[in-house]
């Protein structure tokens, strides 16, 4: 959140991405996003403030969400997202900010979320055709929904601005109990000449939340 960014920066760290403060009705959350036109006026107000505010703090990526389907077809949701996001593209370009829509699984953690598969997210990128709109590829979520992580990264890396990590199953540390090979995934990302951030988003399973962090950094370097 915006008010926390200076704290991070004072510690000598970069803030790779930020998100919106939802309004009083919850618009701007994972469940209430750009796939529903009735949320567009509130979302535009939120992001018209957030984009320049993030840029002023030196943060060049801002998360956005599709929202839950709630009966909206994937084709209509795609169209609605494009219509809702398009007016924000000139503002994002003006401030050097990229809006990134997060890919989340709808199988375990976020039932009914619409942007739950890479092809749908890529289709939205192609519809908007702006370098200031890309995807947040969450490896944990997409392993649950699709698998085929490395081939997907190689095929669609041009539409990915940011990565999240975590082990599957459980969203914990990616050790030998997990099914993902993060050194191989990191190598695939490196091979695409990616120069952004890989963010550690696993949920620590031990009392010391930093115990696994050096190993996580090593595996993803």
Active site residues: 102, 201
Chain-centroid distance, C-alpha 85: 15
- Phi, psi (5° rounding) for residue 24? -65, -25
Alpha helix stretches (DSSP H) within 59-193: 74-85, 89-95, 118-128, 139-145, 149-156, 182-191
How far is Cα 22 from Cα 43, in angstroms, rounded to an integer? 9
- The rounded distance, in Å, linking the Cα atoms of 117 and 201 is 19
Helix (H) or strand (E) holding 199: strand 197-200
> What is the Cα–Cα distance from 60 to 118, expressed in whole angstroms?
22
The answer to whether the Cα torsion of 202, 106, 33, 194 is positive or negative is positive
Instruction: Extract the tokens encoding 184.
Output: 């191989």
Report residue 88 as tokens. 């924000």
- The candidate with the shortest Cα–Cα distance to 60, out of 22, 82, 92, 105, is 92
Smallest CA-to-CA distance from 17 within 66, 54, 56 is with 54
């Amino acid at each position: 959140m915006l008010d926390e960014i200076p704290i991070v920066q004072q510690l000598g760290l970069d803030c790779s991405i930020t998100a919106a403060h939802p309004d009083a009705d919850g618009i701007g959350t994972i469940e209430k996003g750009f796939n529903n036109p009735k949320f567009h006026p509130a979302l535009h107000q939120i992001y018209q403030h957030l984009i320049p505010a993030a840029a002023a703090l030196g943060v060049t990526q801002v998360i956005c969400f599709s929202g839950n389907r709630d009966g909206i077809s994937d084709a209509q949701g795609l169209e609605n997202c494009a219509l809702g996001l398009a007016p924000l593209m000139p503002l994002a370009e003006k401030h050097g900010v990229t809006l990134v829509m997060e890919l989340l699984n709808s199988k375990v953690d976020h039932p009914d979320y619409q942007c739950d598969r890479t092809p749908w997210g890529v289709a939205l990128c192609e519809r908007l055709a702006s370098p200031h709109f890309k995807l947040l590829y969450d490896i944990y979520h997409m392993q649950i929904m699709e698998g085929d992580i490395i081939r997907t990264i190689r095929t669609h890396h041009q539409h990915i601005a940011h990565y999240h990590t975590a082990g599957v199953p459980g969203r914990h540390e990616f050790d030998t109990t997990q099914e993902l090979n993060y050194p191989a995934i990191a190598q695939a990302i490196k091979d695409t000449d990616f120069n952004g951030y890989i963010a550690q988003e696993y949920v620590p399973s031990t009392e010391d939340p930093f115990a696994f962090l050096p190993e996580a950094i090593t595996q993803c370097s």
